[in-house]
């Protein structure tokens, strides 16, 4: 409403950048997809400017995972805590054996932990996958519905900016909870067309449930358990971002089991409370009770065929897209979905890992062998940088399109039928 009341002229540079993006996506995506359908005689195949480099990451990680296969030794202590050890060679564990884990070394330090900024699209997708086990496309659907219900701000954003209204909301909530002494309002950034993802009311998840149940807050859909879980994650991360830092004791502990060693480093004790009251950074108090040379009794041992390298999850892929400057908040989950829809990738049931199929590997190898200049991460990043320059008026949109068209023309000149027929795609 504020934008409508203060409407201004259209920015032609932004419009040009969007038009060029759409043309590039169609020139590359339609051309390569049509070529794949003709080549493999499968109408569901496809390729894309961002989709194909992402498929490459999934395949590369899968190859690395295979090269590093071995055995994961899962040791469950008598206190219920789990320790993991990895070995390339299987170890012998006799039935009813009285096994022990040795505490080899403990390093301790005090440190200040600062709160993380509120969520952007990529960080929300990553954290929802990591902590809640929700894949990116489901997270985006849930966030869309929370947004449409008026419970959170716009969920397609790459900005961590918090408006004065958002800062005031956090302050009101902390005052209501008697935590005003822990308030430290932060705008986080001055940039971004949209704010970070945050709640629109000073209501935590329990207060939200109560308001809906009592009828004082009406929402257009029935919220599921997953809606409330995601809202709770967004709410706590945002409120924590407006709180003071905390001081903790962090421990680095090295364990040994049958000649295998593993070191874990975790915050173990809060020395001075801050945002940790709202958002737990993984505090593990049990580590404080350990001492060097101590032997810990083992309740059970499991040996699992595994790898020292973890397969990618959808959240990992979203983070890679953000780090490599390809894709956008509105397309992160769609890109992963496309690879699944085309049959190039499957999602493991237990952990939600992304595993390439034989078809996915074959298609990717064919594309990089024949179209490397179009489907590489470097080319995709360069195209994104050119779009940014168009937005700023630093480069001509026609110049960018000419460059891409010439690349596609080169492929046709070397005997690869990319653009199927004269005049089918016109600038």
370 touches 390 (CB < 8 A):
no
231 touches 146 (CB < 8 A):
yes
* Tokens (6 digits) for 198: 């945050």
| 322 membership: H or E segment, kind and range | helix 314-324
Compute the distance between CA of residue 26 and CA of residue 33 in angstroms, rounded to an integer: 10
364 touches 55 (CB < 8 A):
yes
Beta strands in 24-178 (DSSP E): 69-77, 82-87, 100-113
Kindly provide the b/e burial profile for residues 126-165, where b requires at least 16 CB atoms within 10 angstroms of the residue's own CB: bbbbeebebbbbbbbebbebbbebebbbbbbbbbbbbeee
Beta sheet of 260-272, edge-to-edge order: 82-87, 69-77, 295-307, 100-113, 246-257, 260-272
CA-based end-to-end distance of the chain: 37
* Tokens (6 digits) for 167: 């800062």
Range 308-311, long-range pairs (CB < 8 A, 24+ positions): 308/68, 308/70, 308/86, 309/61, 309/64, 309/65, 309/67, 309/68, 310/65, 310/353, 311/61, 311/62, 311/65, 311/348, 311/351, 311/353, 311/354, 311/355
Q: Which residues are catalytic?
A: 154
Q: Closest Cα to residue 105, out of 271, 287, 285?
A: 287
Helix (H/G/I), strand (E/B), else coil: 270: strand
List of residues 6+ apart from 243 with CB closer than 8 A: 115, 170, 174, 179, 182, 183, 184, 274, 275, 277, 278
Cα 62 from chain centroid (whole Å): 18
Helix (H/G/I), strand (E/B), else coil: 97: coil
């Amino acid at each position: 409403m504020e934008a409508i009341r203060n409407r201004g002229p259209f920015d032609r540079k932004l419009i040009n950048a969007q038009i060029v993006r759409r043309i590039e996506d169609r020139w590359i995506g339609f051309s390569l997809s049509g070529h794949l359908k003709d080549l493999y005689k499968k109408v569901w195949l496809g390729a894309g400017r961002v989709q194909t480099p992402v498929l490459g990451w999934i395949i590369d990680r899968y190859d690395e995972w295979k090269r590093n296969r071995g055995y994961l030794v899962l040791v469950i202590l008598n206190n219920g805590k789990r320790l993991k050890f990895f070995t390339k060679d299987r170890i012998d564990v006799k039935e009813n054996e009285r096994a022990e884990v040795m505490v080899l070394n403990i390093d301790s330090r005090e440190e200040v932990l600062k709160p993380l900024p509120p969520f952007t699209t990529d960080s929300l997708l990553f954290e929802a996958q990591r902590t809640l086990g929700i894949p990116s496309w489901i997270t985006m659907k849930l966030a869309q519905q929370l947004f449409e219900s008026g419970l959170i701000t716009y969920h397609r954003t790459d900005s961590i900016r918090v408006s004065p209204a958002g800062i005031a909301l956090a302050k009101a909530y902390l005052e209501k909870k008697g935590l005003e002494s822990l308030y430290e309002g932060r705008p986080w950034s001055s940039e971004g067309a949209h704010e970070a993802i945050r709640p629109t009311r000073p209501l935590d998840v329990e207060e939200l449930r109560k308001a809906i149940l009592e009828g004082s807050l009406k929402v257009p859909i029935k919220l599921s358990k997953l809606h409330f879980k995601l809202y709770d994650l967004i709410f706590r991360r945002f409120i924590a971002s407006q709180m003071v830092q905390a001081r903790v004791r962090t421990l680095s502990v090295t364990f040994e089991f049958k000649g295998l060693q593993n070191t874990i480093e975790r915050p173990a004790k809060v020395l001075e409370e801050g945002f940790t009251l709202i958002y737990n950074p993984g505090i593990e108090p049990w580590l404080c009770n350990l001492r060097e040379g101590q032997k810990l009794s083992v309740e059970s041992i499991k040996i699992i065929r595994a790898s020292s390298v973890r397969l990618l999850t959808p959240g990992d892929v979203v983070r890679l897209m953000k780090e490599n400057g390809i894709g956008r908040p509105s397309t992160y989950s769609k890109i992963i979905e496309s690879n699944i829809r085309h049959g190039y990738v499957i999602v493991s049931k237990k952990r939600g890992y992304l595993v390439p199929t034989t078809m996915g590997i074959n298609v990717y190898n064919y594309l990089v062998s024949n179209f490397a200049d179009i489907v590489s991460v470097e080319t995709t990043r360069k195209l994104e940088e050119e779009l940014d320059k168009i937005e700023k008026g630093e480069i001509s949109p026609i110049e960018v399109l000419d460059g891409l068209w010439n690349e596609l023309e080169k492929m046709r000149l070397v005997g690869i039928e990319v653009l199927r027929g004269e005049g089918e795609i016109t600038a």
